[in-house]
Structure 1
Amino acid sequence: MGLQEVWFILIAVLFIGYFVLEGFDFGVGMLMPVLGRRKDPNGDTRRRVVLNTIGPVWDGNEVWLITGGGALFAAFPEWYATLFSGFYLPLLIILVALIVRICAIEYRGKIDDDTWRRRCDWGIVFGSWVPAVLWGVAFANIVRGVDIDADKQVTSSLFDLLNPYALLGGLTTALVFALHGAVFLALKTADEVRTDAVELASRLAIPAVPVAGAFVLWTQLAHGKGWTWILVAIAAAALLGVVAFTRAEREGWAFLLTSIAVIATVALLFGSLFPNVMPSTLDAAYNLTIDNASSSPYTLKVMTWAAAFLTPVVLIYQGWTYWVFRQRISTKHIPPSIGLPLGRR
């Protein structure tokens, strides 16, 4: 195995980590209006409980995306250039949505005004739903292939990216992230919020399982390889297990299985893509591969040594953060919001 293969796998691992960790962040934000209904006199406290489940970890989860983008730029600059120029508008929309979400989370508790909090809540919802859908659309198009010419430029229009397979991918990531977030909330909350989260997770599993199953099967039949059938089986078994454990109120096992389903699905996408990094629908000769899109061997060697020393430190620190904030949160734990830092309001 050469360094190109190693870095392809490492980039896949970084995006797997991002979708597993940021996936439940998105799900939590997507479900805020449902679990914290405004007609409920206790609605704002419930919304703060929901938001506090991710308060200590959401910004750390986003580091996986930054690291993945940086690794992509350094290890496969041609892939990075073609991807970010050809998918400029969808990626820009994702970036804007993430910025809106960050600002809404950080500033929601700074002003004691219902209108202000309502606007921040909608910013969180917008900043969660939009990336949840568009990430699925983007990765489905990467696997499916787009029009790439001899100059490594994407000539596909925005409407070309909105094909049935990509739209199914966007629907899949949205539903699976919502389910992932509901199960996470059931795991991290207590009292009536946990009860409602368990019920919501059971309901979300009804559309999420068949939609995700259809997308995974389409991916395998159209783009998969022989060995990736194993990933299809793992994803399918994990999603079916989520249904059973959610109904049994075993949210710890259910969360583990939603994580496994996300891991298997993203691994299926990268496995179906290899050894290409961006296939061309115009001519196979124009495909970007791990060989013609990579940096020099010396650059990859330096990056490998840096990753070997720094990655364990990052993993230990993030694991420690999750361990420190492992307790469940209930409405009884919510103090007055004004003047308190995120993670306590």
Structure 2
Amino acid sequence: MRPFSYTYAKDIASAVKQLTANRGAKFLAGGTNLLDLMKEDVERPDQLIDISRLPLTQIRAISTGANQGGISIGGLGRNTDAANHPLIRQNYPLLSQAILAGASGQIRNMATNGGNLMQRTRCPYFYDVAMPCNKREPGTGCGALEGINRMHAIFGWSDKCVAVYPSDMAVALAALDSVVVVSNTAGQERRIPLADFHRLPGDSPEKETNLSHGELITSIELPKNKFADQSYYLKVRDRASYAFALISVAAALEMDGNRIIRASLAMGGVAHKPWRALKAEQLLAGKEATEANFRAAAAAEMSDARPLAHNKFKVELGSRSLALALQLARNGNKS
């Protein structure tokens, strides 16, 4: 690990000011991803700004504004607290399921909600500083493109990067149409729909989010919805304990009898960001919630997949996972 300075932010304005003043600085909260990357010499900040004691941990009902009736979760709240909070478990069980599927209890006890959104890919070529990686060192190439790419993207990749985004929490937040609230250098709030928060790689895979340098995630807002009774988070992985997803699906349904009023679907393990399954959603709107319709919508969504040499299995796995997650959501977590 390289030398760095450590400073403490006493308030939001101080945190933002310190980060803005130094392009080589990073915020430190739970540290569950950043410290690992520093030890591997992937991240090389010359300053860590400790924001862990800022008062951004509250989970509360939203009483005014565009998301009135929804819930706000603090950016520095711990994953464990978010997953187990009564407001989340009752109104957004999909989010609870995703967080609990995401990591060990010890990591959830340290990891913050905002930090979860900011975690970086677990691509082995990104972690291995001896290998080329445009995300780590722009212009060096993508080792995974022609390398071992079993875990990599099948949607939205470019010849610059085929890595996937690892968060389970963010996949559920994408399906729930969440909004990320950030504080900027002018002391103002900016609101970013989660669908626009993360980026596809394009020509600049090193730019993973649409945050500007100096912005701080203060909260995440979940709008009111009618998904609580019929939603499900399905995670398919190589082993049952603490593994990243080969495919994950956040499925939520608003129903009228057996007719689907609205479906909301997001996938993990398939792209550089949480992948919203818009084609499947559109095909399901107004349809009966039948296994045949679920399979047809899933097949349509996966028809646009572009698998790599070693992950062609993800196309079939993705189709089956989408259909199964929809069935489990329809059954109200009873199956």
TM-score if structure 1 supplies the norm length? 0.25
Larger Rg: 1
* Greater percentage in helix: 1
Q: Compare relative contact order (CA 8 Å, sep 6+) and give the higher one, 1 or 2.
A: 1
